[in-house]
Amino acid sequence: MDIGKKIKSLRLAKSLTQSQLAEMLGVSKSTMSNYERNISTPSPDIFINLASYFDVTVDYLMNDNLDVSKDTIKEGGAYHSDKALSKDEWNAISYYRRLNDEQRDFIKGQMIQLYQKSSSANKN
């Protein structure tokens, strides 16, 4: 199965529209359509985001010889990755990418403070 068909199959297995997936990836609906029709190829970052969101490997997305059924995808079967992000984590990254540099710096600072507090609390 080619890249475009895999993306479309994964999207449909999650009951997403092209517009919904495009928004989550930060691309236009026409770009998503071009990916699914093999008119253009996703960037490495988009491949990583797709793999994380759909809980498959980048290798699966890029390799025509690897195929998997919709049932396997829904059940997190053969191509399930232990390092894949949860949907909440993926959404947080998606929101973060839409922030300007000042907002990102603020969020990073808040995250560092929370991490340091939890680290010191765990030591006690």
In tens, the pLDDT along 21-61 reads 999 999 999 999 999 999 998 988 898 899 888 888 888 88
Q: Are 46 and 25 in contact (CB under 8 A)?
A: yes
Q: What is the Cα–Cα distance from 56 to 54, expressed in whole angstroms? A: 6
Identify the pLDDT of residue 84.
54
With CA atoms as reference, report the closest residue to 50 among 6, 88, 82: 6
Q: How many of the other CB atoms lie within 10 Å of CB of 60?
A: 20
Q: Residue 71: is its pLDDT beyond 60? A: no
CB 39 within 8 A of CB 45: no
What value does the mean pLDDT take over residues 102-109?
A: 92
What pLDDT shows up at residue 124? 62
pTM for the full predicted model: 0.54
Looking at the domain that runs over 1-84, which CATH code has it been given? 1.10.260.40
Q: Which range among 15-19, 58-62, 80-84 shows the weakest confidence by mean pLDDT?
A: 80-84
Tell me which amino acid residue 28 is. S
Given this model, what pLDDT does residue 66 score? 45
